[in-house]
Every structure is written in C-alpha cells, then in structure tokens.
Chain A
Amino acid sequence: MVHKRYDSWGGIRVDDTLPELCRLVTQEHINRYVKASGDQNPLHTDPEFAKETIYERTIAPGLLTLAFVSQLMTKWSLEGWISGGELDVAFVGPLYSGESVLVEASVASIEERNGDVVAICDVRCAVEDRAILVGTATRLLDRRKG
C-alpha cells in the first residue's frame, strides 16, 4: 500500500533533528528501575549471576532505555505522543551500569496512514559508537478521522 508522503507538515520537515538527550545509568538507577517496574531478572542486579552470562556484568533493562526515547518524544510533542504515538524498536546491544547513553532521533518521513498524518522518526540510543537501541518512534501530526 502506497502512503501519501509530505516533505513537511505544520513546520516540521523531513530530516529535522530532535533535541538529543543523554542519561548516565548507574547501578543505583538500574536498581531503582527494577524496583519500580517489578522486573526480577538477576541479570540487571546480581553481579555474580551476570558474571556467568555472556555479558559478564549487570546490564540495564531494555525498557529503561526505551523510557528515555519516550522522554525525548514527550519534549517534542506531548499531544501527538500520548495519544497516537508508536514505538517499534530492537534492543541491539547491552547498556552496562555506569555508562552514559545518548538518545537521538530525526524525522525520516511524514506520511498519511489510515487517514491520519504522522511523522516517523528514526531513533538510536548509543554509548559512543556502540548502538544499544534502534528503531522508530511515530508521532501523530494530524488526526483526520474521529
């Protein structure tokens, strides 16, 4: 199915870069997140357990990194994010405790979908050159139906 595409919509243009976000993730942050979310995987909190895995150290839950992507989208557009927003990501590498992750996004396309107009952003979270998360975050720009 071919979607109608636009170069810009309401001042937003394809290739626009969103303000980036950087977060230092310490073991204390991970512990707090695990407690808040109910995640009981010892890979995130138990150094002895993690030592026996391919990661060798504790890693942050992927959904913690995903929360940072949502924060970036919230700062860009609350209305088009909380109602009509979408995330579609892959966790491609571990985020170790003590590392700083940079969250970046840019507008990859503006198109009509099911009658709505949306901006689809490429998102990437990385520690220096090492990718942690890649995918898309979609924001609703204009609701045409309902």
Chain B
Amino acid sequence: MPDYVLYEDLEVGQELPPAVFRITDEVIDSYTEATEDDSPVYSREGSTEPGTRRLAPPTLAAVYVRPALMSMPSPPGGIHAKQRYEFHRPVFSGDVLVTQARILDKYLKKARRYVVIETMTTNQDGEIVTTGRMVRIWAR
C-alpha cells in the first residue's frame, strides 16, 4: 500500500482530522534561519520588553498548517500552483494552534490534476489566526 493518497481517491468536501501545532522559539528560529529572515521583530531579542511575547513570521503558516495535511500525503513530485493566506491575527511563541483542512475542489486541466484545499487555523483562545487556500498539482 503506497504511503500517499492518489488523486482519484480524494473526495471533494472531505474534512481532514484537525491537527495541533505548538509554536516554540525553536520552531521560529528554525524557520527564520531557513528563510534568512533578518527582521529583528521576529528574533528572540525582538520580544525582550516585559509582558511581550515573541512574534512569528506570518508565513510560518507553511509550517504549522502542514500537519493538518499529513493524513492525505501527496505522491512525490507534485507542486504548489497557488497559495492564498489571510493573516487575521499575529501568532506568538507559546501559542497552541489547531488547523482544520478541507478538500474544496479537484479538477483536471491540460492533463494535470489540480486539488484545492482550504485551511483554517485557530489559537488556544479559539480565535482565527490564519485562513488559507492552496492549489496543488497532484503527481498521480
């Protein structure tokens, strides 16, 4: 049995199991180093004021949304075609986020298999922090 989900087995409207992701300083460090983000506001030193928490870059969504997609891993070789994000609220180190993903659509175009997935991420207070919509080209 392959460890990925084929295009023909994806069901439009299907909701994937929600996934929890804890934002830590190490997660933010790893992301800012990998993306060479030198913005002081996202550094450990950027939140030294008493009562402030360390801010995460908005596109850390690429990291904290991913576990919500792990229940339907795509076959190797697929690519990301489009991405939409709405950043409703900032994300901080220490936040515990829950992301719910849903298959919004799938279609064939020029012999390519497109899959549209929408995501919604909430924080520990139940507030929506990020909504997203991605279009991926499924390899098989």
- A residues contacting B by CB (< 8 A) are 23, 29, 32-33, 35-43, 49, 53, 59, 61-64, 66-71, 74-75, 78, 81-91
- Cβ contacts under 8 Å, B57 to chain A: 67, 70-71, 74
Contact A87 B85 (CB under 8 A): yes
Residues on B close to A: CB < 8 A? 30-31, 33-37, 39, 41-42, 55, 57-59, 62-63, 66-67, 73-74, 76-90
Q: Is the interface of B mostly helix, strand, loop or mixed?
A: mixed
A82 touches B55 (CB 8 A): yes
A74 cross-chain contacts in B, Cβ below 8 A: 37, 39, 41-42, 57-58
Q: How far is the CA of A75 from the CA of B37 in the complex (A)?
A: 10
Given contacts A33-B34, A63-B83, A89-B83, contact A42 B63 (CB under 8 A): no
Interface of A is mostly: helix
Residues of A within 8 A of B90 (CB): 82-83
